[in-house]
């Protein structure tokens, strides 16, 4: 029976095999986020219009089809702030329910400017002066990165 199923599967057109796989597999989203430092040892945070609670958070966003993660974080930062990244390094990947988040560290310079209707403000923060309402997971991540613990 397995051999017959294998033969039938191989004879199906690739588009049909893909459609079967897509409808039978669990769906997920994927995003990128970065802890970005400047020459003054500050971290870049964006005040997002749609972010729950404080609004402040690390820059990032969803990947688009066929986009590689590093390309995605560069695109997101460029679109939201006009800033360019250097020294981009993948830190880790984590799965949150049906979501994959790829975390990076990077460097940038300049103040940037709001380039997206999703962003209210752009600001560099000293590590000891992070917004009190900032998500505790992001605070911990920022402190780990800046203290060299990751």
- The pLDDT value given to residue 18: 80
- The pLDDT value given to residue 91: 95
Q: Whole-prediction pTM value?
A: 0.82
What are 40-96's pLDDT values in tens digits? 999 999 998 876 666 899 999 999 999 999 999 999 999 999 999 999 999 999 998
Task: Specify if 19 maps to a domain.
Answer: no
Task: Specify if 68 maps to a domain.
Answer: yes
Number of domains in the chain: 1
Q: Which residue has the higher pLDDT, 38 or 26?
A: 38
DSSP string, 74-103: HHHHHHHH----EEEEEEEEEEETTEEEEE
Task: Specify if 81 maps to a domain.
Answer: yes
Task: Specify if 1 maps to a domain.
Answer: no
CATH code (residue 133): 3.90.79.10
- Average the pLDDT over each of 64-68, 105-109, 131-135 and give the range with the smallest value: 131-135
Residue range(s) defining the domain that contains residue 114: 26-146
Task: Specify if 12 maps to a domain.
Answer: no
Task: Specify if 60 maps to a domain.
Answer: yes
């Amino acid at each position: 029976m397995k051999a017959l199923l294998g033969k039938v599967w191989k004879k199906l057109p690739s588009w049909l095999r893909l459609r079967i796989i897509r409808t039978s597999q669990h769906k997920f989203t994927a995003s990128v986020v970065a802890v970005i430092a400047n020459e003054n040892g500050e971290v870049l945070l964006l005040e997002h219009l749609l972010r729950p609670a404080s609004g402040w958070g690390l820059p990032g966003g969803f990947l688009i089809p066929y986009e590689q993660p590093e390309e995605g974080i560069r695109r997101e930062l460029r679109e939201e702030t006009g800033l360019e990244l250097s020294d981009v390094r993948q830190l880790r990947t984590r799965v949150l329910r049906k979501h994959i988040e790829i975390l990076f560290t990077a460097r940038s310079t300049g103040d940037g400017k709001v380039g997206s209707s999703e962003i209210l403000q752009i600001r560099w923060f000293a590590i000891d002066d992070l917004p009190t309402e900032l998500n505790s997971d992001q605070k911990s991540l920022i402190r780990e990165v800046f203290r060299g613990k990751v």
